[in-house]
Amino acid sequence: MARRKKIYEGKAKILYEGPEPGTIVQYFKDDATAFNAEKKAVIEGKGVLNNRLSEFFMTGLGQIGVPNHFIKRLNMREQLVRQVEIVPLEIIVRNYAAGTMSKRLGIEEGTQLPRPIVEYCYKDDALGDPLVTEEHIAAFGWASQQDMDDILSLALRVNDFLSGVMMAVGIRLVDFKIEVGRIFDGDFQRLIIADEISPDSCRLWDIETGQKLDKDVFRRDLGDLKDAYTEVARRLGVMPKNAQPMTKPTLIN
């Protein structure tokens, strides 16, 4: 069998050329990294969970009309997605203070923000994805004003959708990161959600206990990351069917 052409290998995913022009196969690895890959581990089964969870979120977003790259899941670790030209920004939406925002502004983790706050980071591993302003984005031509209007609207729609889905299963959506990409229809271009939406790129806290159910479990050595992601998948009814509820909290916030 002919080997597929690898287009790109990142920290958590590999992209292969898809079967049709304009498509890509996105393979979810078990690798976990944090602090710009200074901390690394292989968490068996993480890729399978993130493949299913990203499918779940992207499908739900598609059903409410939020355009995204997902086409179909191919197998346990792979999904077919639309090829996009990635906008070199990480778009972060925060509902509660945590992580770098808490550190930067001295706000206690878990403090509810007056409204969702959207931040932009320039996607560059070598620089550690620095926070940038819309001035930088416009001046360096990373995105136009129209793009920024569309990005803000997409980010807030994702936030409303994800917050609601999570709240329904007793999970607080603290913050998340998305990426967007351009697709071209003739002379027209539009922006769609790309990359992945999974517990690797969100902060998810149990509403009752404050238990962390996201990548902070790995970043901060709070317990078994696979257990945490399995718990999210189980509550959402995603998989695996026979997963048992977590019995041992990894952290009470």
Q: Which stretch binds ligand 5GP (CB under 6 A): 13-21, 59-67, 94-102, 226-234?
A: 94-102
- Residue selected from 16, 27, 176, 205 as contacting ligand 5GP according to rule CB under 6 A: 176
- Which 112-141 residues touch ligand 5GP, going by CB under 6 A? 129
The answer to whether the beta carbons of residues 27 and 15 sit under 8 Å apart is yes
Alpha-carbon distance of 71 to 82, in angstroms, equals 7
- b/e burial code for range 5-23 (CB count within 10 A of at least 16 → b): eeeeeeebbbbbebeeeee
Binding test (CB under 6 A) with ligand 5GP, winner from 88, 99, 116, 223:
99
Tokens 């598609």 — which residue? 62
90 near ligand 5GP (CB under 6 A): yes
In the bound complex, what is the minimum distance in angstroms from residue 20's beta carbon to ligand 5GP?
A: 28
**Which amino acid makes up residue 210?**
G
Planar angle of CA 79, 83, 84, nearest 5 degrees = 125
Q: Rule CB under 6 A: is residue 202 a binding residue for ligand 5GP?
A: yes
Rounded to the nearest whole angstrom, what is the least distance from the CB of residue 53 to ligand 5GP in the complex? Answer: 13
Residue nearest to ligand 5GP (CB): 99
Considering only 38-46, 80-88, 98-106, 180-188, which stretch makes contact with ligand 5GP by CB under 6 A? 98-106
**Residue entry with tokens 């779940």:** 56
Residue 184 Cβ vs ligand 5GP, minimum distance, rounded to whole Å: 26
Q: Please say which residue, 92 or 162, places its beta carbon nearer to ligand 5GP.
A: 92
If you write DSSP's letter for every residue of 62-100 in order, what string do you get?
Answer: HHTT--BSEEEE-SSSEEEEE--EE-SEEEEEEEE--HH
Is the Cβ of residue 77 or residue 203 nearer to ligand 5GP in the bound state? 203
Q: Is 215 in the site for ligand 5GP (CB under 6 A)?
A: yes
Q: How far apart are CA 65 and CA 67, in angstroms?
A: 6
Burial (CB count within 10 angstroms: exposed 0-12, middle 13-18, buried 19+), residue 210: middle
Smallest gap from residue 135 Cβ to ligand 5GP (A): 20
Sequence-ordered alpha helix ranges (H) in 78-196: 99-105, 134-139, 145-167
Q: How far is the CB of 192 from ligand 5GP (least distance, A)?
A: 18
For ligand 5GP, give the closer residue by CB, 147 or 175.
175
Binding site for ligand 5GP (CB under 6 A): 90, 92, 98-101, 129, 175-177, 200-203, 215
